[in-house]
Structures are given as structure tokens and as C-alpha cells.
Structure 1
């Protein structure tokens, strides 16, 4: 039995946005592209990652070093091809992002998700993040979000 080659991680480039936009709604099973405008790849591509496999893009991580909180880095969006889930792609991207954050003098990585996204909450716990209870009004009235924080 042959094992599939592990995806190769590389820094994103602005033109990766088109490939992400082409799959993101399918990967989520619902319209989600609006949560990831092109500006993230235009301005944060050096701290964002693409996982490539022989079959194409296996995943992406959009993250940045906070320009306002000098000790923090933030992961805005992560996607993994449904066919590559549970294969370590997300973990590999997170570990690479943690290395980028450390290399930029950051000591905390943060992220958020919707309270209904228990898969994300479980993944973040396994990755060593502290997971909050839903924070009412996090993104304005009527929106609650769960926050994540991990010390590096």
C-alpha cells in the first residue's frame, strides 16, 4: 500500500485568492466567501499559508501578526479540502504559523469561531488553545462568538 504524499506548505501569494475563492463555499457546504475578502491575501500573504498536494490545494491558513497588539498573532481563516481532513494538514499549517509568530516576537495566537462550530472548538483544544464560552455581542448585537488563545 502506498501512502499519499504529505502536502507541501508554502507562503501564500495574492493570486492564491482566486483558487481559494473557487473552493471555499464547497468546502464549507454553505456560502462563506464573504468572510474572506481579497484584501487578506493582498495584505497578509506573507504570513498566510497554502498546503499543496499533487492533486492541488489541500488547505490554506490566513493569518497575520497584529499591528496593534505587538505580542499577538491572529489566525483569521483556515480551510482544508474535505478529502484531506484528519490527515494532519491543519495541524501542520498551525505549527508553521506558530513558528512564524515566534519568529516575529509574538507570544500569543488568537482566533474566533461561531458557537455552533464545535469541530473547530475541539480542534483548537487539541492544539492547546484556551476556548472561551460564547461571548455575547462579540461582533455587534445578536452575534456571539467563541474566542481562542494559545500561548507560544
Structure 2
């Protein structure tokens, strides 16, 4: 399966699956269309052999720190998990970040999402800290950082 840059036309395909992929949690508000319009060059999708969405990663180059990049959202279809698609998407993002002079990648996840915490640690991310109320009252987050070679 080929990784390609996300396009505005991919928005509907992704947003139509994101809540289902997160077991009915309302995740769609975290992924507005603007990511598919303004961050095509650092966001990616993977389609399966039948042209169905298999995985995606939404990331961007920091506008504040010229050494950093950020992964905002990544998802792999439940039936495709364990195939290495998430790792491949991150590796593509890392390579593109390095090509743009970035030396650090950041991302966050919920401390309750143990699978996500383990996945990011396996990718070489370090836990920078647990941030209380990061996304509002009661919305704690694990802040990850990865130094790129």
C-alpha cells in the first residue's frame, strides 16, 4: 500500500471513519477540514487494495519553532492495526520533517490510551511530561518528544 499526501478531497473519507475507528468516541471535532487544505505536504493517507481508507496521519511543521514538527492526529483502521502502517506513516513524516530542517517531533495522547503511549514509546518518543488539564479541565495529556537524527 502506497503512502500519499492527503488532499482536501480526503477529508470526507477520513471524517466519516474517525469516530468509528475510535470506538464511537466523538473525535471528529479534533480534525477540521483546514488540516486537509493547509497541511497537504505533511499529511498522508494510505488506501488499501480496494481503494478504501486504511490509515492517515495529519502533521505540520511548526510555525513557532523552526526546528520542530508536530503530529496532530494519526489513525489506522481497526482491521489494519498491527501491519506497520502507523509506523510507516510516522517514518514518512520524520523523513519529510528532516528534509525541512526539523530536528524534533512532538505529539500528545491521552494517558488513558495505553496502546497509544506504548506505540509512541516504541517509535522512539520520550515522555516529556504529563500535562494536567492540557486540553481543558480534566483533559490531561501525555506530551511526547522525539529527536530526529
TM-score (norm: length of structure 2)? 0.94
The separation in 1 between residues aligned to 2:123 and 2:65, in whole angstroms, is 22
Q: Secondary structure at the match of 2:111?
A: coil
The runs of 4+ residues in structure 1 deviating greater than 2 Å are 139-143
2:103 paired residue number: 107
What is the Cα-based RMSD across aligned positions, in Å?
1.1
- After TM superposition, give the deviation of residue 132 of structure 1 in Å: 3.8
User: Is 1:11 aligned to 2:5, yes or no?
Assistant: yes
1:83 paired residue number: 79
- After TM superposition, give the deviation of residue 89 of structure 1 in Å: 0.3
The separation in 1 between residues aligned to 2:137 and 2:81, in whole angstroms, is 34
Q: Secondary structure at the match of 2:39?
A: helix
Residues 96-140 of structure 1 show CA distances to partners (whole Å, capped at 9, x for unaligned) of 000000000000000001111111100000000002442112223
5+ residue gaps in structure 1?
1-6
Structure 2 vs 1, CA of residues 114 and 14 (structure 1 numbering), >3 Å: closer, same or farther?
Answer: same
User: Is 1:42 aligned to 2:37, yes or no?
Assistant: yes
User: Is 1:24 aligned to 2:18, yes or no?
Assistant: yes
Question: Between Structure 1 and Structure 2, how many residues are aligned?
Answer: 146
- After TM superposition, give the deviation of residue 14 of structure 1 in Å: 1.0
TM-score (norm: length of structure 1)? 0.92
